[in-house]
Amino acid sequence: MGCACGTQRFAWRRWGENGVVFDRRYGDTHTLSGVTASIFEAWLSCGSLAIGDLAGALALDDVQSLPERGALNDALLELQRRGLLPLR
């Protein structure tokens, strides 16, 4: 799923480290915090579910060697579990 689909489906607001998203498909509102909020915002901007692309959108260095990789994966899984991101 590309970025255009994401921006068409979702309305997004962010304050500091946290944000809220409105899912036009289901009429639901979700609160996202911390890494999860950042990953979601990165996906909206880059449209890719690849960790490397998301890390790039987040201006992180080589994600393969980053300790944050686990946290990024967890956040992706959380967003997918909530139906906000497509399954990889």
Q: How many CB atoms lie within 10 A of CB 58?
A: 17
Q: How far is the CB of 27 from another protein (least distance, A)?
A: 6
Q: Which amino acid would we find at residue 88?
A: R
Q: How far is the CB of 28 from another protein (least distance, A)?
A: 9
Structure tokens at 17: 């480290």
13-72 binders of another protein (CB under 8 A): 13-16, 18-20, 22, 24, 27, 29, 31-33
Query: What is d(CA 65, CA 52) in angstroms, rounded to the nearest whole number?
Result: 11
Q: Which residues bind another protein (CB under 8 A)?
A: 11, 13-16, 18-20, 22, 24, 27, 29, 31-33
